[in-house]
Amino acid sequence: MIELIKKAFYTGLGAAELTREKVEDLARELSERGKVSESEVKKFVDEMVGKSQERKDQVKKQLEKMTEDALKKMNLASREDLEALEKRLGEKIDSLTGNKS
């Protein structure tokens, strides 16, 4: 029974779509019906929540990489570029005005 639910979970809903609460509700319902034991419920919930978190982390990393790649292609100045430019401008202004900071 648990294996069937796992297959449905992975194929139908996706690991990133279910919340811990929904997984616990489903597992509790199965336990109440006598389909699975309490220990199987806990193991199932922990496994599904873990897989869900892993998938969320993967998606986040992929989105961050895609965003970074897109920004690089747009040839925009990075924060570091702007900070270096600001420092150079400050130094140039100081040298022109005679300020030593």
Q: What is the pTM of this model?
A: 0.49
List, in sequence order, the alpha helices (H) in 1-101.
2-8, 20-32, 38-73, 79-97
* pLDDT tens for each residue of the chain, 101 residues long: 456 556 666 655 555 565 677 777 877 787 788 777 778 877 877 887 788 788 878 888 888 888 888 878 888 888 999 999 999 999 999 999 987 65
- 51 conformational bin, left if phi > 0, alpha if psi -120 to 50, beta if neither: alpha
The token duo for 99 is 């300020």
**What does the alpha-carbon distance between residue 13 and residue 2 come to, in Å, rounded to a whole number?**
15
- Cα separation values, 39 from 2, 22, 46, 52, 95, Å: 12, 18, 11, 20, 73
Q: What is the structure's pLDDT at 6? A: 62
Q: What is the structure's pLDDT at 83? A: 97
